[in-house]
């Protein structure tokens, strides 16, 4: 199958729409939480950021979809906008049900191709990080498993979104006269660079939001025994599990996992170097 062909477009659009799951957050089986679980949930300080991000994404994508001339792609992007808005409703339901603090600001979307591309690369990074955080939080059992598993569907949808995006952007660039991977590569790197710069810009607002809410618990309490290497490894494993479920003919995000594997090697080497070495002839202390 040639990337940028009509067959490619049919594949990634039909796959995305056919894999859509129908549900409404208010209809899900939200568990009753004990006081200690509620207290732990309320110490997590980023509900405002999460709600704002998902709401903004839904508005931007829904607006951008109306500007797309291709009817099939327009329908698929509109569906992604609906799912992002539903993620906002998911977080909003969580906030309302468990009495969490969250504040959001008004947002006027810019429905442009550039805005969609910037959002897509940002989502590739955010989703990869989210995969690892979800895996570690599930293993540490910081929150009840039935609550954590409610958000499993959100992570699965984010995985679908980034696969749809990397296929769309490759298709779109091919349609604009850049069908070869080598020609598209500089644009991919530039897209991720813009996303990284955007993350730095958001850091200030995130810090202000966190300061208004309860202080975050120690990392070890939320994720268990924590290290950079363990976190990156969790991101890679969860990403591999999600990507394995999709049609093998679909493109996958490759740059973030590739960069993460390099960082994982560096982190593991650093941990080995810092680990205290037993001196020859010196007995270990009694356990």
Nearest to 192 by CA among 171, 166, 174, 173: 166
Higher pLDDT, 3 or 182: 3
Spatial neighbors of 89 by CB under 8 A, at least 6 apart, are: 24, 25, 26
Q: Which residues of 72-101 are buried (b: 16+ CB within 10 A; e: fewer)?
A: ebbebbbbbbebbbbbbbbbbbbbeebebe
Q: Which of 28-32, 46-50, 177-181 has the lowest mean pLDDT?
A: 177-181
Q: pLDDT of 142-153, one tens digit each?
A: 889 999 999 999
C-alpha distance from residue 50 to each of 5, 86, 153, 262 (Å): 36, 12, 16, 28
3-state helix, strand, coil in the chain (%, to 5): 70, 0, 30
- Checking if the pLDDT of 210 tops 60, the result is no
CA distance 231 to 135: 9
User: CB of 46 within 8 A of CB of 207?
Assistant: no
Q: pLDDT of 81-130, one tens digit each?
A: 999 999 999 999 999 999 998 888 888 888 899 999 999 999 999 999 99
Nearest to 142 by CA among 33, 229, 47: 33
SS3 sequence of 256-282: HHHHHHHHHHHHHHHHHHHCCCCCCCC
225, containing H or E segment: none
Per-residue confidence at 69, pLDDT binned at 50, 70, 90? Answer: very high
Per-residue confidence at 77, pLDDT binned at 50, 70, 90? Answer: very high
- Checking if the pLDDT of 48 tops 50, the result is yes
Question: What 3-state class would DSSP assign to 141?
Answer: coil
Q: What is the CATH number of domain 6-271?
A: 1.10.620
Task: List Cβ<8 Å contacts ≥24 apart for 62-68.
Answer: 62/109, 63/109, 63/111, 64/109, 64/111, 64/112, 64/113, 64/115, 64/116, 66/111, 67/111, 67/112
Q: Which of 66-80, 168-182, 219-233 has the lowest mean pLDDT?
A: 219-233
Report if pTM > 0.75. yes
CA distance 41 to 34: 11
Q: What pLDDT does 200 receive?
A: 46
Q: What pLDDT does 196 receive?
A: 57
Nearest to 75 by CA among 117, 14, 23, 116: 14
Q: What pLDDT does 202 receive?
A: 47
Domain boundaries, the chain: 6-271
CA distance 278 to 255: 39
Per-residue confidence at 287, pLDDT binned at 50, 70, 90? Answer: very low
**Percentage of residues in the chain having pLDDT higher than 70:** 79
Q: pLDDT of 245-278, one tens digit each?
A: 999 999 999 999 999 999 999 999 988 888 765 5
């Amino acid at each position: 199958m040639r990337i940028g062909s009509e067959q490619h477009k049919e594949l990634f659009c039909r796959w995305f729409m056919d894999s859509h799951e129908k549900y409404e957050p208010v209809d899900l089986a939200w568990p009753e939480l004990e006081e200690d679980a509620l207290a732990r949930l309320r110490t997590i300080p980023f509900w405002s950021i999460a709600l704002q991000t998902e709401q903004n994404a839904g508005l931007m994508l829904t607006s951008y979809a109306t500007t797309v001339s291709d009817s099939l792609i327009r329908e698929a992007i509109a569906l992604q906008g609906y799912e992002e808005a539903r993620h906002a409703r998911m977080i909003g339901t969580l906030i309302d049900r468990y009495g969490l603090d969250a504040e959001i600001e008004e947002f006027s979307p810019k429905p442009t191709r550039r805005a969609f591309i910037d959002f897509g690369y940002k989502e590739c990074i955010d989703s990869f990080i989210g995969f690892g955080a979800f895996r570690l939080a599930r293993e540490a059992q910081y929150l009840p498993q039935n609550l954590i598993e409610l958000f499993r569907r959100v992570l699965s949808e984010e995985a679908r979104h980034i696969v749809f995006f990397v296929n769309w952007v490759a298709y779109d660039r091919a349609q604009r006269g850049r069908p070869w991977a080598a020609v598209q590569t500089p644009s991919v790197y530039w897209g991720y660079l813009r996303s990284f710069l955007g993350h730095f810009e958001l850091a200030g607002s995130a810090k202000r939001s966190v300061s208004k809410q309860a202080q975050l618990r120690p990392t070890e309490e939320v994720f268990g025994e924590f290290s950079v290497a363990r976190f990156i490894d969790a991101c890679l494993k969860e990403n591999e599990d999600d990507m394995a479920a999709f049609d093998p003919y679909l493109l996958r995000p490759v740059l973030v996992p590739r960069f993460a594997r390099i960082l994982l090697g560096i982190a593991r080497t650093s941990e080995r170097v810092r680990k205290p070495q037993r001196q020859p002839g010196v007995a270990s202390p009694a356990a």
